[in-house]
Amino acid sequence: MESRFERLTSRPLLVEVRKRASLALIDGSIRTLSLLGKLHPQLRSVGRRIERVKNVPYLADGDHFHTCDIYRPRERSGPLPVMLYIHGGGFRILSKDTHWLMGRLFADQGMVVVNINYRLTPAHPFPDGLIDCCRAAVWVKKNVAEWGGDPERIHFSGESAGANLATSLAIACRFERPEHWTQELFAADVRPRTVIAACGMLQVSHPERFWGNRRLSVLVRDRISAVSQSYLARRNELTESDLALADPLVVLEQCSQSPDHFPSFFAFVGTKDPLEEDTQRLQSALERLEIPCRTRYYPGGVHAFHAFYFARSAQECWQDQVAFLGEHLDH
């Protein structure tokens, strides 16, 4: 039964105002928390050990969306394993700059981190952002050695929308697919060793699957709905096959067997995250395909809780990510 608040705010104009207010609140909150995180003494200590090279182009078109920041240890020797990091934000907001935390912490594990920007909705709906990720991965394979990275030891990671993109990217790397924009990536023979998929929204096309969750607030429902509508704004122009990689979870659920050299996964989510079900389904799909997948469900964790480094659960999660990578880095 609808509440009085839901009835009052269900009119089209008010719905649009509510969605815009929600987006502005989320964007502003995350940017503020990103700045505050730099005050954490441990992160400041890590920062002194890490070098950051800003705004390196991975496409030579002068577009800021086609740049990356490279993080690497100041003291290093030999080629290092590589992390391609893809930020979240509902495919619509945030950037490599808001996600400096991930660059620092992965680099502190002895990695070269390539933290990318990509085109965002609503100006650039699917598949534009994923096309950028594919081109960034090709650039990494061809150029990361110049930055001290090993192109044969590449890992992917992303949270929320970034987890969707990282999972789709892994599929495009190891399955020969019909989309013309995946073919250069497949030909480059990028072989990611792992994917860390954090609190992923892994099926964008069917947000209604969440509506049965009585704990889901109106604002969260608006946000999920807006993400789907904005990311898939071109769905009437694309075939079902063209749209497939917007829903990497469904692609994996429909696979009959995994390809050679498909990466191991670490998938995690908080138990208060409305997207928890997607991580559960990802675990089931990968286990059926006999693809190694480690999953963790953090009690009480909200969406993207691991980005709030002041929290004990976030630090525990980062310890778990480090432990997982430690089994796969092959220093």
Separation CA 104–CA 48 (nearest Å): 10
The strand order across the sheet containing 264-270 reads 50-57, 67-73, 112-116, 80-86, 149-159, 194-198, 264-270, 293-298
Q: What is the DSSP letter of 38?
A: T
Number of compact structural domains in the chain: 1
The two structure tokens encoding residue 131 = 């096309």
Task: Kindly tell me if the per-residue pLDDT of 282 is higher than 90.
Answer: yes
Domain with residue 216: its CATH number is 3.40.50.1820
Q: What is the DSSP letter of 279?
A: H
Judged by DSSP in three states, 20 sits in: helix
Provide the terminal-to-terminal Cα distance of the chain, rounded to the nearest Å: 57
Task: Kindly tell me if the per-residue pLDDT of 182 is higher than 90.
Answer: yes
Residue 260 lies in a domain: yes
Residue 236 lies in a domain: yes
> What is the gyration radius of the CA atoms in the chain, in angstroms?
19
Q: What is the pLDDT of residue 329?
A: 86
Judged by DSSP in three states, 44 sits in: helix
Which residues neighbour 166 within 8 Å (Cβ) at sequence distance 6 or greater?
84, 86, 133, 156, 157, 158, 195, 196, 197
User: Rounded mean pLDDT of 299-307?
Assistant: 94
Residue 331 lies in a domain: no
Task: Kindly tell me if the per-residue pLDDT of 6 is higher than 60.
Answer: no
How many CB atoms neighbour CB 60 within 10 A? 8
Contact 316, 298 (CB under 8 A): yes
Q: What is the pLDDT of residue 35?
A: 55
Residue 21 lies in a domain: yes
The domain in which residue 167 lies consists of 4-326
For the stretch 127-175, pLDDT in tens is 999 999 999 999 999 999 999 999 999 999 999 999 999 999 999 999 9
